[in-house]
Amino acid sequence: MRSQILKITAITAAVLLTSGCGGGMSSSGSGNNNNGGQSSTDWQSLKMDGAVAEGKYAGRKILTLDKANKLLVVHLPTLALPILVGGGIGKTVTIPQLPGTSLDLELASDGNLDLVLKLPLEHLMHGASFMDAQKLPNGDALPAIPDGELPGLALDLNSNKTVKGYIYLAPATFGALVTSQFDPTVSMQLPIYQNNGAVLGYLTTVPAKNGFDGGIFMSVKVPADIARIIDDVI
């Protein structure tokens, strides 16, 4: 299984480098590529923190590893104000199809909300083949994803169903969308940088279209060297 995952990861990374927007998703991890007995040391020193460096969310740290619990933790900005959420703040949404995964809405420093996703690394690395391939809810291709679709599922994030979340998963490839009744109007794509300057993924605004609410989409590709280290410890 490990060799199959690595093969898929390498192929996907090559496609992203040649066809992704803004030069594609590429990165280098802090780990040692030589796995000869060094995986434990590599894991302890591993970092996969991502922050937006441009636009409205400049400086916002939105991606990190919880190594103690082996989770990917995502703080995805939304366009929803608390008054319109309808009691969604503080309510944890669990996902039976992905055991150990949870979604929350938290108040951010700008007065809007963050969608907080905690995803076990085993799901990140193995994907979710039981889910059907999906595009954006409005039928558009997923931004910065080769072929424009990944297996995905949808969830209601508040009681009146005005805020929805979507999770997309393939081995070492991740996407998340949170919708809002506030229309972003235009599509903008902002890179997510690791502290070493490498690009981990993209944050893309999605305008409302065909009766579907707009929102914010995030796409992340786990670099091959980081994927090797994670795969050794899950």
Name the packing angle between helices 224-233 and 2-19 (round to 10°).
160
Q: What is the pLDDT of residue 12?
A: 36
Alpha-carbon gap, residue 221 to 234, rounded angstroms? 18
Q: What is the pLDDT of residue 202?
A: 95
The owner of tokens 């929803």 is: 80
| Domain locations in the chain as residue ranges | 49-221
Amino acid identity at 15: V
Q: Environment class of residue 161 by beta-carbon count within 10 Å: exposed (0-12), middle (13-18) or buried (19+)?
A: exposed
Distance set, CA 191 to CA 25, 55, 112, 233 (Å): 9, 10, 21, 28
Sign of CA dihedral 142, 134, 121, 205: positive
Per residue of the chain (234 residues), give pLDDT as tens.
434 433 333 333 333 323 333 333 433 333 344 444 556 789 998 988 999 988 888 888 999 999 999 999 999 998 877 776 766 777 788 999 899 999 988 888 888 889 999 999 999 999 887 889 999 999 999 999 989 999 999 988 877 788 889 999 999 999 999 998 888 999 999 999 988 888 999 999 999 998 999 999 999 999 998 999 999 998
Decide: 196 and 175 in contact? Cβ < 8 Å: no
Q: What is the pLDDT of residue 20?
A: 35
